[in-house]
Structure formats: structure tokens, C-alpha cells
Structure 1
Amino acid sequence: MRIACWQATCAPGGVPAFLESLRAVARRAAAGGAGLLVTPEMSVGGYPLSAAALAEAREPVAGPHGEAIAAIARETGVAIVHGWPEAAGAVVHNAAAVTSPEGRLLTYRKGHLFGSQERALFAPGSDGVVQTRLGGLTVGLLICYDVEFPEAVRAHALAGTELLVVPTALMRPWDFVARVVVPARAFENGLFIAYTNWTGARAGLDFAGLTRVAGPDGGLVTVGGDGEELLFADIDPARVVAARASTTYLQDRRPELYGPAP
């Protein structure tokens, strides 16, 4: 399956402007042969969320913004990963969803919140591993800081995830997460990781870009720079099988040695 990663400029403009841009990008992704389009963390509303943006973008799992994105998926024939502030009763989650042309496939709530601002805005999720089948692949979903926890990615590998999609909002000076951590996670677990970031500066934050798709054998399938761009990558499940056969971390694990920390 071919995927597209939209490294978008993080700029104010509101939800209608985002949806208009998303439609145009989804059409470009379809023209390039992609079956899946990945957008950055909290793509509806933008990151970081101001009070006004949070109020505009916040909605439950089934809401008007999600319905508009579903319509774009139907129109273009491309599945879309988007993020938004999910209203769940009295709390809000940093959430992401995979929506195919046939409808929503899964929703994930970010389990590891980064810093005091996220902890003030969101409740942590407790979803663990969430997966779906798409384009002949087992696709899993994490969000940004989640991928920096080796246990989270290993759990996906053990559950059979072949493509791990990670919308992110990576800021400088943490460029090394994209450059070093993400390829290492892909290699040590024998899976693809599609790590899709914002670019540009907003509200005092400098987003690093560096969107990339890391392969299961330690190589990079595609690498972005620091400007807005749409990156394409071909995801071949045979590479996952080959990588796990040649680098046998999953088979050689000895979980009886890794008991809970005292």
C-alpha cells in the first residue's frame, strides 16, 4: 500500500480552513496513488491549542468535523488519519482516528501526555494497542510522545502491527527523536513507522518537520525536510516478514526476566 504523509504548516486559520486544505491534500494523495493520508497531531484545531481553537475543534467521536473528514475520504477514495480534541463526558482526550472511504475504522486516545500544558488540557487515554486492517496491512495508531516509550511500540509489534502510524507535534530542540528514536523503534520491532509532524513556528513553539517513514530493517523509506510537503512511501508487508526473520528480537525475548521494577 502507498501512503502519504502531510507535513503541514502549523498556522492559525480555524477548522474550515483546515478542512479546505485537507480536501486539496487528499486529492493530491489520491492522484499520487496513496490509499492512506496521515496528518499531524491534533490536526483539527492545530497544535498548540488555544482556548478558542480548543472550543472550536472539540467534539465527540461522532461530530461534524469528523463527518466532514469522512466525506473527504469518500470523495477522494483515500483513508485519512486526523487528530482532534475528543470530548468524552466531562473530560477531553488528545485523540486520533483512522477514517476510510467506508467510514471510521478506529479511534485512539493518547496514553502518554507531554508536559504540563497537555496534562492541564487532556485526560490520558487507556486504550493500549488499537489496530485495524487497511490495504492488506495491520495498521496501529500511537500519538507523538507515545512512540518514545519502547513498551508501547513493542506491544504493537507483539500484537502484529505492520504499519504504526504516529501523528506528532515534535518541537525543537528534540529533533533527535525523529532522527534517532523513530528509526530505532522501527528496527527493534520489525515494523514500519509513519511519523508525521507539523512544520513552522506557532505560539512560541518551533516545529521540527522531519516527517519520515522508517522501515522495519532500519532504513528510511522517505524523509522530509523543514517545509510543508506531501511525502509518499510504499509499505510492503513482505519487508516486515523479512526483517523479523533476519533480526529476531521478538522471538528471542525473555519476558520472565523483565519483571516489574521494584
Structure 2
Amino acid sequence: MQTVRTAWYVAVYHRPVTPPHPVPSAPLTVATVQATPTPGDVAGNALAAAELVRRAAGQGARVAVLPELYLCAYHPPTLAADPVGTDVAVDPAGVVADGRLDPLRAAARTAGITVVVGAAARHPDGRRTIAALVVDRAGTVRVGYDKQQLWGDERELFSPGGRGATLLVDDWRLGLGVCYDGCFPEHGRAAALDGAHAYLCPSGYLAGSEHRRDLYYAARALDNTMFVVFANAVGGGDPWRFNGGAAIYDPQGRPLARGADEGTAVLVASLDPAVLADTRAAHSMLADLLPSQGGPRVSLTG
């Protein structure tokens, strides 16, 4: 039986180039989810998340990724009006003990699956963050990562996170990002330079953004020769209507699984370490990256 380890630590974003970690010893089956949560209903959304997780586990997934802010729904008017009801409290050790999440804890524990799910987190110092919670296979819930790159009016409701994070599942290193983080090549690259074999991104892309949705995360995969698991919300009412398209990309940015623009879906794929090794051997950007990429710049006239 495989074991699971989870770890959170500061990722240094301006660091010397280091070789990637060895590829994992066995494939990892992962699931990405697109679904429609109910604004403000943390208990109801946790119950729905538990069912989605059971579906993922039933298809063999050992890791499941759900959308950004899924537990409260990405609905700024509700998040602004009811911060107490929509937030989950985080203790000084990063643990979330909110009883509303008990069904999700039980699903992870019973199915033996690690879950990454979006939430609004209230920290002991009063900060409110867009968090990627990690529910481990024992059912413990912790803040794995706080979104660093806040988008638009998110800055009025949330504080940015101050560190990167890598989730360790068996011998797979899974970099964590949230939505807009994945629009910055530097964020995915920081995960890759920290040894990530895959990059997990709970997200919330609005209808009309399909081109960018399908480009950014495929590009992060190809940029860094790593798998990418992109989850997204779907449905809802304008102007907060989301466009699905959840996907799992291989290390060359090709979709292994992709959802439609509408409808709930649980999409599963196997991350194959042989594919990772072959891709990195053929496309050695990480090994070839110069420590001072670009170097000093000069101005030219034409």
C-alpha cells in the first residue's frame, strides 16, 4: 500500500537553478473537477464536494482537485456581505477544524484520497486569504497554500499569500497555485525549480475567457515539462458565470482529459512518470536554464 506525505514550506522564488528531483517510481491517478457551488453555503458545498470526491475515488483517483473558493463559491457580493459565514477558521498550526467540512473529511478518509479544494480562510492574525485547502487521507484539513496573485477586486476582500508550496503525495511533488497565479510563468517555474512533477490549480474562470483558460495552463505544462491539473467552476448567474473546461495536461501541454464548457464533471487521468522522464530528456529547458536568464540588457537603435 502506498503512503502519503504532505508538507508545506516556503518556496524561494529567486533561487539558483537546481536539477529537478528524480521522477516518481509509479504512476499517480488524479481527478480534476468542474462543479457549481452555492454562494455562501459552506456546509452544503462540503457535502457536494464529498460526493464528487467519492466519484473521483471510484474512478481510481488518489488525488482530487476542486475549484477555487469552492466551499463558499466564488461570488464576491456574498463574500463581502457575510465574511463570518463564508470563511473557515485556521488555527496557528494551519489546521482547519470547521465542523461543516466533516463530510469531506470522511470522504477523503474512507476513500483514501487526498483532496485540494478552494476556500476563504481566516487566519489567526486576521488575514483573509483565497486558500487551497488540503484534506489528507487521514481526514485532516490544513491550509496548503494561499493565493499570491490576486485578481482585480479580490484585493478588496483578501490578502495575498506570502509563500509558494509543494504537496508531497507518495514520491510525487505537486506544486500548488490558484487561478491567476497560473497566468504568471514565474509561478509555475518556481514550482518546477522546487522539483514539482505536477502543478495543481483550483480556478474560477468566467464565461468569455475560454481562450485564455485553455492557453495558460497548457503553457505552464510545456514551459516546465510538468503535468498540470486545472480545476474550474462552472455555471452560475451573470456576471459570475463560470465556464468549466477543467483539464489535465501532459508535460508537453497536451490535454489528457478536458471537460466541456458546461455541466458538472469529474475527469480522471494517470500521471505517468515514464512520460515525465521522456519529456524532460527530450526537452531540457529546466536543466538548460541559465542562472541569470537574460543577463544584463542593452538598448539598441535601428
Is the pair's TM-score, using the shorter chain for normalization, greater than 0.5? Answer: yes
Residues 83-98 of structure 1: pairs in structure 2 closer than 5 A = 83-88=118-123, 89-98=125-134
- Counterpart residue type for residue 159 of structure 2: A
> 2:279 matched to which residue of 1?
243
> Is the 2:205–2:243 contact (alpha carbons within 8 Å) kept by the matching residues of 1?
yes
- Residue by residue over 1:196-242, the C-alpha shift from the partner in whole angstroms, topping out at 9 and shown as x without a partner, is 00111335222111111111023111011022111111111222221
How many residues were matched structurally? 260
Q: CA deviation at 1:104?
A: 4.3
Aligned mates of 1:114, 1:54 — CA distance in 2: 19
> Is the 2:47–2:103 contact (alpha carbons within 8 Å) kept by the matching residues of 1?
no
> Is the 1:43–1:83 contact (alpha carbons within 8 Å) kept by the matching residues of 2?
yes
Q: Is 1:181 the counterpart of 2:211 in the alignment?
A: no
SS of the residue 2:64 aligns to: strand
SS of the residue 1:256 aligns to: coil
Q: CA deviation at 1:135?
A: 3.8
Greater Rg by CA? 2
Q: CA deviation at 1:154?
A: 0.6
| Bigger mean CA deviation after superposition, 232-241 or 37-46 | 232-241
Residues 150-165 of structure 1: pairs in structure 2 closer than 5 A = 150-165=185-200
Q: Is 1:27 the counterpart of 2:80 in the alignment?
A: no
Q: Residue 95 and residue 191 in structure 1: after superposition, are their counterparts in 2 closer, same or farther (change >3 A)?
A: same
Residues 1-262 of structure 1: pairs in structure 2 closer than 5 A = 1-12=28-39, 14-49=41-76, 50=78, 51-52=80-81, 54-61=83-90, 62-64=96-98, 65-66=100-101, 68-88=103-123, 89-102=125-138, 103-104=140-141, 107-115=144-152, 117-128=153-164, 130-202=165-237, 204-226=239-261, 227-258=263-294
Q: CA deviation at 1:47?
A: 0.5
TM-score, length-normalised on structure 2?
0.80
SS of the residue 1:205 aligns to: coil
Q: CA deviation at 1:146?
A: 0.0
Q: Residue 261 and residue 5 in structure 1: after superposition, are their counterparts in 2 closer, same or farther (change >3 A)?
A: farther
Q: Select the structure that is richer in helix.
A: 1
TM-score, length-normalised on structure 1?
0.91
Aligned mates of 1:15, 1:248 — CA distance in 2: 44
Aligned mates of 2:296, 2:238 — CA distance in 1: 40
- Counterpart residue type for residue 153 of structure 1: G
Q: RMSD in angstroms over aligned alpha carbons?
A: 2.1
| Bigger mean CA deviation after superposition, 49-58 or 27-36 | 49-58
- Counterpart residue type for residue 161 of structure 1: A
Q: CA deviation at 1:15?
A: 1.6
Q: Residue 25 and residue 175 in structure 1: after superposition, are their counterparts in 2 closer, same or farther (change >3 A)?
A: same
Q: CA deviation at 1:63?
A: 2.9
Larger RCO (CA within 8 A; separation ≥ 6)? 2
Q: Residue 15 and residue 188 in structure 1: after superposition, are their counterparts in 2 closer, same or farther (change >3 A)?
A: same
| Bigger mean CA deviation after superposition, 212-221 or 48-57 | 48-57
Aligned mates of 2:166, 2:296 — CA distance in 1: 26
SS of the residue 1:154 aligns to: helix
Q: CA deviation at 1:55?
A: 2.5
- Aligned identity (percent) is 31
Aligned mates of 1:122, 1:211 — CA distance in 2: 25
Q: CA deviation at 1:131?
A: 1.0
Q: Residue 162 and residue 7 in structure 1: after superposition, are their counterparts in 2 closer, same or farther (change >3 A)?
A: same
Unaligned runs of 5+ in 2: 1-27, 91-95
Unaligned runs of 5+ in 1: none
